Amino acid sequence: MRRVAIVGIGNGKFGIRKDASLRELAFEPVKECLDDAGISLGDVDSMVTGIASDEFSLAFQPSAQIHDYLGFNPKPNFRVEGACASGSMAVRTGWLTVASGIADVVLVVAAEKMNEVNTGVATEILGRAGDSTWEYPFGTSFPGYYAMIASAHMDRHGTTEEQLAMVAVKNHHYGMMNPLAHIQKEVSLEMVLNSFVVAHPLKLYDCCLISDGAAAIILASEEKAKEISKKPVWITGLGCGTDTLGLNERRDLTTLEGTVFAANQAYKMAGVTPDDIDVACVHDCFTIGEICAYEDLGFCKKGEGGKMIEEKQTYLDGKIPVNVDGGLKSKGHPIGATGVSMSVEIVKQLREEAGKRQVKGAETGLSHNIAGSGQAVAVHIYQRD
C-alpha cells in the first residue's frame, strides 16, 4: 500500500442554494481544489463522487451529471453511496484507489441538493434510512431515532437537556466564524432550551439543517504529492464500522458500536491514541450525536460526554477542539457532501489556514461520519509532516 496525501481542497457555500443546480454546486469546490493544488483536470487520473440520494438529486445517475458537466469523460468516475456518510466513504474509496496503485491522482467530489424537495418530503426520504420493515412504516424519522438515543443517554448517564443545548451553543459560536456555514448566528442556552420540541428531548436547535452544498479534495500518491504540494496532509488511518439496522436490536442505545469499531481500526492503523488527536470533526446531526461521539471515540469515559461539553473541553482552547467549523449543526448537513467537507476542514487546520478558528499547533486530526443512526461509520486520521 502506498502512502496517500490530500493535496488540494475545496468547499462551496452550504445553505439553501436556489442559485445552482447539483452539477453547478459540485463545480465550485472542484475548481477551488484544482486551483489549490495547482493542477488541471487533465492531471487527474480518476474520480469518485459521493451522493447519498437519487430522490434529492431527481436523477438515477447524479454522478454522471457532475462528471459530464466537468468534462471528465472518458476517464473513470463512479458514485459511492453510504447515506449520510457518503462523503467519507468516497474519501475512503479514493484513498484505496491511490494506495493500491490503480491511480496516482484522484478527485473526490461530494454533493447533495436537499432543498429540491420541501421539508416534509426531505424528512420522509431521510426516515427511510431506518429499518424499512420495523421503523419507517410506523412513522419514525431521524429526530425520533436520535430522541430515543438521547432519552436513553439521559436515563443511563444523567445527561441533561442543558448539556445537549451547550453543544448547539458551541457549534453556532464557531459557525458564526465560518463564511461557508449555512447559519452564521450565535444562539444562547436560553434560545436553545426555549425553542419548540421536535422529538422530546430534542428541540429545534438540537437538530441539524436541511442543506445544499458540495466539497472536494484531491488525493495523490506520495511521489505525486511531493511534486504537487508543499503542505501535503496524509491520511494515515481509516476505520469503518457498522451496527444493526434497527435501533431495537442494539445492545446499548447510548453507544454506537460502529463508531467504537471504526475508531479503534483507525487509531491502530495510524499508530495513535485518542490523546494524540489535536482537532476533530464529528457527526453532530443532533446534539446528542456529538456527546456520544466524545465517548465512543475515546475522548472521555462513557457517560462523561455531557460533563465534557459543560466544562468546555471541546472549545477551541479546550482539551480537544471539536467541530470548530460549526459542525453539521451550524455549517449544515448536505448529506452526501458532509464527510468530504470534514476532510477539508481538518486539512485547513493542519495547514494552519483556519483563521479565527485555528487550533494552535494542530498536527493530527480526526473526522467521524455516520450513516443513518449508526448503520455505517467512517473514521479517518490525518497527519501533517
Residue whose C-alpha is closest to residue 327's, from 361, 295, 286: 286
User: Tens digits of per-residue pLDDT, 26-41?
Assistant: 999 999 999 999 999 9
Burial-class residue 315 by CB neighbours within 10 Å (0-12, 13-18, 19+). middle
Could you tell me the three cell numbers for 376? 455505517
Contact 225, 5 (CB under 8 A): yes
Name 169's bridge partners: none
User: Tens digits of per-residue pLDDT, 245-275?
Assistant: 999 999 999 999 999 999 999 999 999 999 9
d(CA 176, CA 180): 10
Contact 101, 2 (CB under 8 A): yes
Q: Which of 33, 84, 207, 285 is catalytic?
A: 84
d(CA 306, CA 121): 33
Could you tell me the three cell numbers for 50? 459521493
Name 4's bridge partners: 221
Taking residues 287-309, what's their average pLDDT? 98
d(CA 29, CA 186): 26
pLDDT at 249: 94
pLDDT at 131: 87
Question: What's the predicted TM-score (pTM) here?
Answer: 0.97
Q: Which of 172, 182, 283, 333 is catalytic?
A: 333
333 is catalytic: yes
From 3.30.980.10, 3.30.70.330, 3.40.47.10, 1.20.120.1150, which CATH number describes the 4-118+211-228 domain?
A: 3.40.47.10
84 is catalytic: yes
Tell me the residue type at 359.
V
Which of 94-108, 126-140, 297-311, 345-359 has the least mean pLDDT? 126-140
Residue whose C-alpha cell is 416534509 = 120
User: Tens digits of per-residue pLDDT, 322-334?
Assistant: 999 999 999 999 9
User: Tens digits of per-residue pLDDT, 169-219?
Assistant: 999 999 999 999 999 999 999 999 999 999 999 999 999 999 999 999 999
Could you give the maximum distance between any two Cα atoms of the chain, in Å? 56
